[in-house]
A and B are shown apart, each in its own frame.
Chain A
Amino acid sequence: MSETSATHVAHHAPTSFIRKYIFSTDHKVIGIQYWFLALFSVFLGMGLSLLMRFHMVFPDAKVSWFATLWPKGAEGGIMTPELYLSLMTMHGTIMVFFVLTTAPQAGFGNSFLPLQIGAEDMAFPVLNMMSFWTTFLALAVLVMAFFVEGGAPLGGWTAYPPLSALGAVAGPGMGAGMNCWIVSIALFCGASLMGAINFIATLVDLRCKGMSMMRLPLTCWSWFVTAILSLLGFAVLLSAGILLLLDRVAGTSFFLPAGLVVNDQIQNHKGGSPLLWQHLFWFFGHPEVYIAILPGMGVTSQILSVFARKPIFGYKAMVYAVCGIGFLGFLVWGHHMFMSGMNPYTAMAFSILTMTIGVPSAIKTFNWIGTLWGAKIRFTTCMLFALGFVSLFISGGLSGIFLGQPALDLYFHDTYFVVAHFHLIMGVAAIFGMFAGTFYWFPKMFGKMMNETIGKIHFYLTFIGVYCIFTPMHQLGMAGNPRRYADFKEFEFMGQLLPVHTFITWAAILTATAQVLFVINLIWSWWKGAKASDNPWEATTLEWTVSSPPPFDNFAGKHPVVYRGPYEYAQPGAPKDYTMQTDPT
């Protein structure tokens, strides 16, 4: 890697369309590219979940366009269980990797890390561009799985062997489709590693004068810790993916035990262990949860402080809590494997470590509430979404305490209780963080204000909607409703739960429909929105010292100098109720 790719070498704004908008090395453009990639993915993933919800409630419905889309998976217009599982797999994979990992970190992080630390660009702009296009390729390969012979894979986003390691004999989609999945994830790992290297080098070495670590906005701390988690986690997932691919194509037996008979065919493997995959996968998989949620915590901290017009309560505690969550995140992967026949003493150790994460999480929640306490809150749309994040983080986190107990997890693990838990805390909370970030930074990204009225209607519908979807799932789980089942009519006790499923499905359809408001708001604001001033929210961090959108080199040839922390609101004796980080007086 030569220094030509490093940032201090002045680079001029490209003029051609391709260099400016497609193969751009400008972090702001790359951030927006990631953001659009995630936007496309979230609607794709949401569409798949609606199909699943529809099938659960109307398993025998004949839908002619199902048959058109999936001639084999939905012959005669009725969805097969295999098709249901492939939709589930693709929904999980797209949402976890291409939405939750992509938008909060690569999207907003790319857009605003250099701006918030006073740098001209990321440390390695060309690497940054490669990272985005590798992610794009990964998404393309994943979506390709729908169109190869056998269709999309059935293995879930966790792709547990032995079935994921066997090939087409394990079911439709487990041949070429599963290969697409593995290649896509391997590409995604590579892209994330490139991104992580860039984030860490940028934050460590390109901070402007005066920007000490303890003056960093909490967003930057979150992106930094997330980058470290990505760096260490995705490297392990890449290893695991290579081993899985070799088991499938090279005849090795890393994950495949002897004596397997699948679909009446004896499998010619011996000696491997499916549990080995689970360990490698969850060593990545648990930090992945924090990769999804930490940037949302950063955005929430930022927005709560700005719109409460108060300094964040306990800045240092927030920093140490983020670091603590990141560190502990690597020690708890076993709590995903309580069902695997794990030694109870090992389970106990993982359980205690899991409970320990409650401490930094509680510190964060306490400090968010401390920030809000007694404040004159400005209830903008982004503030509402940040408050929604806090709410979802609490309600999703509380069920985690139940699942962290091996004795309870044995019962809950394969039920809708887990579905409710991880959707609330990892899925919806993180997506609320993205909405909050979008409403907060849209003026800086696109130079226009978003419409507050549509934004608030969208917020209330979404907030009520997601609780209507996921709260009843806890009850379903407690009632013993298993997850991953395509339909429930075969089982008498689950038949009684069908009204709850019907309610959830209607809630899901209405909540998904409400997202149209978000798209309308985006398009309308982009096209006709009021022009954004440099600092519409009266915030203090560096991105608000430059024009909206910022110039190509971020600070128009100047080198910003920072004199104070990022949350100086309502300072006694200050002329205004906020003091910019660059204000020396």
Chain B
Amino acid sequence: MDMAGSLTSGVWKPQGPPPPVPDDPGGGSGGGRGASRRATFTGLFVAMASIVMFFAAFTSALVVRRGLSNDWLPTPLPGILWLNTALLLASSAALEMGRRALRAGAREAFNRYWTGGTLLGALFLGGQYLAWQQLLGAGIYISTNPSSSFFYLLTAVHALHIAGGMAALLYVNVQALRLRLGPSKRTAVDVTAVYWHFVDVLWIYLLLLFLIWG
């Protein structure tokens, strides 16, 4: 078509696909039922993407800092970390079994599993504190060495994300124990569980980072 002509005449001629059929508005979800559940999950995944970037930045800083100079001494990992890892994995498993129980309608079993998962999460945090105490007892502080700086920093930042997850776990737990876990609260259960698995995987990643480059 004569593009210059259509431009200069000021009249726009439709190009590409024809206009949509009026009674068939495709596209958006309409914000109706299920929109808030989907939006909550989108929010969760987007938040997880930003947390990944946050830790990726620390990781690249660690790799660069480690490669830069000859003052890097590996930090000995406290033995309790392995117990903590087992606790965290167990808590994720408990939440997952709880969700299965909920899907099967077994509310009491759900309450037991979820409470167990929450307690295991709290134990993980306590265990991380003990790991710090062990390192401090060995005379290794945050400023001792770049390796120990990254160890304290990354475990602390991870613990903050765990603490956020604990708040969500407790919220669901209180709702469940007060028998207020109606169908509309299922999103809270699912989102909390997915987030918890995510910080769980994040911990495994950090542990590998400490093992390989710590």
**Chain A residues engaging chain B, CB cutoff 8 angstroms:** 1-3, 6-9, 117-120, 123-124, 193, 196-198, 200-202, 204-213, 215, 231-232, 234-236, 238-240, 242-243, 246, 250-254, 258, 270-273, 276, 279-280, 283, 310-311, 316, 370, 373-376, 559, 561-564, 569-572, 584-585
Contacts and interface: CB of A to CB of B under 8 A. Distances in A.
B79 interface: no
A270 B57 contact: no
B12 A311 contact: yes
Contact of A201 (B40, B61, B70): B40
Given A6-B36, A272-B65, A374-B10, A204 B42 contact: yes
Given A197-B43, A198-B43, A569-B12, A235 B22 contact: no
Given A2-B171, A370-B7, A563-B25, A123 B57 contact: no
Given A563-B22, A564-B19, A3 B71 contact: no
Contacts of A270: 69, 71
Contacts of A254: 61, 65, 146, 149
A236 B53 CA distance: 6
B143 A561 contact: no
Interface in B95-109: none
B8 A276 contact: no
Interface string B26-69: 11111111011111101110110111011111101100110011
B60 to A, nearest CB: 8
6 contacts: A205-B29, A208-B30, A236-B57, A239-B54, A243-B58, A276-B65
Interface stretch (B115-123, B182-190, B196-204): B182-190
B64 to A, nearest CB: 5
Contact of A252 (B8, B13, B44, B146): B146
Contacts of A200: 42-43, 46
Contacts of B11: 570, 572
Nearest to A561: B25
B182 to A, nearest CB: 11
A318 to B, nearest CB: 14
Report the interface size class on chain B: 35 or more
B27 A209 contact: yes
Contacts, number: 215
Contacts of B184: 3
Contacts of A206: 28-29, 31, 35, 39
B69 A572 contact: no
B54 A570 contact: no
Given A201-B42, A370-B7, A374-B8, A210 B61 contact: no
A208 to B, nearest CB: 5
A205 B187 CA distance: 15
Interface in B128-167: 142-143, 146, 149, 153, 157
Nearest to B188: A2
B31 A7 contact: yes
Interface centre among A118, A211, A235, A238 (most CB of B within 10 A): A235
A201 B46 contact: yes
Given A201-B46, A208-B31, A562 B25 contact: yes
B37 A118 contact: no
Contacts of A234: 50
Nearest to A272: B65
A296 B168 CA distance: 38
Contact of B142 (A124, A193, A208, A252): A252
Given A7-B39, A212-B27, A231 B46 contact: yes
Nearest to B54: A235
A200 B33 CA distance: 19
Contacts of A243: 58, 61, 153
Given A571-B12, A585-B22, A232 B42 contact: no
B206 interface: no
A458 B44 CA distance: 45
B214 to A, nearest CB: 15
B77 interface: no
B71 to A, nearest CB: 4
A246 B68 contact: no
Given A569-B12, A584-B22, A559 B32 contact: yes
Given A201-B43, A206-B35, A242 B12 contact: no
A584 B14 CA distance: 17
Nearest to A284: B57
Contacts of B9: 374
A1 B57 contact: no
A563 B42 contact: no
